[in-house]
Amino acid sequence: MKIVQTPNAPAPASNYSQGIVVPSTDRTLHVSGQIGVMLDGTIPDDPAAQHDLAWKNAMAILQAEGMDHSHVVMARVYIMDPGQVILYRQTRDRFMQGHKPAATLLIVAGLADPRLCVEVELIASA
């Protein structure tokens, strides 16, 4: 396996990698859940900004491995507020640019920090 680390996404907050490439016939990249946080660790109060940042951070990890939205085969997204489902869909669709990977949306009781409202986890293959 190859650990993927990039300075273009926030550093892990504990003992995990930003992504892992598993060698096989195809390359598979597992992107750890990315949150709506800026590179300096700032968490915006605005849910739309958090959704945008979570997807942007996930895309940065794909790009670190020479992949883009078209390589995503699975997206798992966790949100706190059922009222943000439309926001989630709009943001996902903007970042996926018409690409339609498998996807799971979960509405959860909490994330790692109570200020967070979204987390995006991806699996990509090239």
Tell me the average confidence (pLDDT) per consecutive run of 10 residues in the chain, 126 residues long. Answer: 86 78 80 97 98 98 96 94 96 94 93 97 94
pLDDT number for residue 53: 98
Name the DSSP class of 119.
E
Domain that holds residue 57: 2-125
What is the residue-wise DSSP string for 75-113?
EEEEES-GGGHHHHHHHHHHHHTT---EEEEEE-S--SS
Q: Provide the pLDDT for residue 13.
A: 74
> Taking every pair of C-alpha atoms in the chain, what is the biggest distance, in angstroms?
43
Give, in order, the Cα–Cα distances in Å from 31 to each of 78, 82, 86: 14, 24, 23
pLDDT of residue 39: 97
| Domain count within the chain | 1
Q: What confidence score (pLDDT) does residue 46 get?
A: 98
d(CA 31, CA 18): 6
* Residue 110: CATH number of its domain: 3.30.1330.40
pLDDT of residue 17: 80
